Amino acid sequence: MALSNVNGADARVARISSTIRVIPDFPKPGILFQDITTLLLDPEAFKDTIDLFVERYKDKNINVVAGVEARGFIFGPPIALAIGAKFVPMRKPKKLPGEVISEEYTLEYGTDKMEMHVGAVQPGEHAIVVDDLIATGGTLGAAIRLLERAGANVVECACVIELADLKGRDRLEDKSLFVLVTST
């Protein structure tokens, strides 16, 4: 069943939800993978997705749209352009040239790191963190900590899909989470 933070009467949410393909047992048995590549094949649904985020953030004084690698890179740049903010990529280790700051986070099977360029974010800037999906909340939590270490005020996290049963929202501490489609 799909739920949303968006007005239930908004037909765009149903269209977006209907374009997301669920792949059972990928990448391993027992996982129901939420595949947004099929959403990207539908220009109307993709535009609706971007429009819903832009409508939410256009008048919120957001300076930074931080996109989490890799699918946050799909949604973040068009949102940033539309609201007049800069896009800051949050990447896996050794992917950004130059000086970076990093934040380690826990996964089911170990740890990983996320990196951001030093100087990409200035103290006092207002940021949102964008990704395609929140599951356990580990990557979004790391992105929040990284931005806050740089002095940014993280206003909210924005995801196309939330896997509500994994309770990732609880790992975001006091940060708000805006999602378009909730999978239960």
Look up 173 and say whether it is catalytic: no
Long-range contacts of 142-146 (CB under 8 A, 24+ apart): 142/103, 142/104, 142/105, 142/113, 142/114, 143/66, 143/68, 143/90, 143/103, 143/114, 144/172, 144/173, 144/175, 145/103, 146/90, 146/101, 146/102, 146/103, 146/114, 146/115, 146/116
Look up 108 and say whether it is catalytic: yes
Catalytic residue among 12, 71, 169, 171: 71
Check: CB of residue 104 under 8 Å from CB of residue 111.
yes
Terminal Cα-to-Cα distance of the chain (whole angstroms):
6
Collapsing DSSP to helix, strand or coil, 138 comes out as helix
Catalytic residue among 55, 91, 99, 108: 108
CA distance 140 to 62: 18
The residues annotated with a catalytic role in the active site are 71, 108
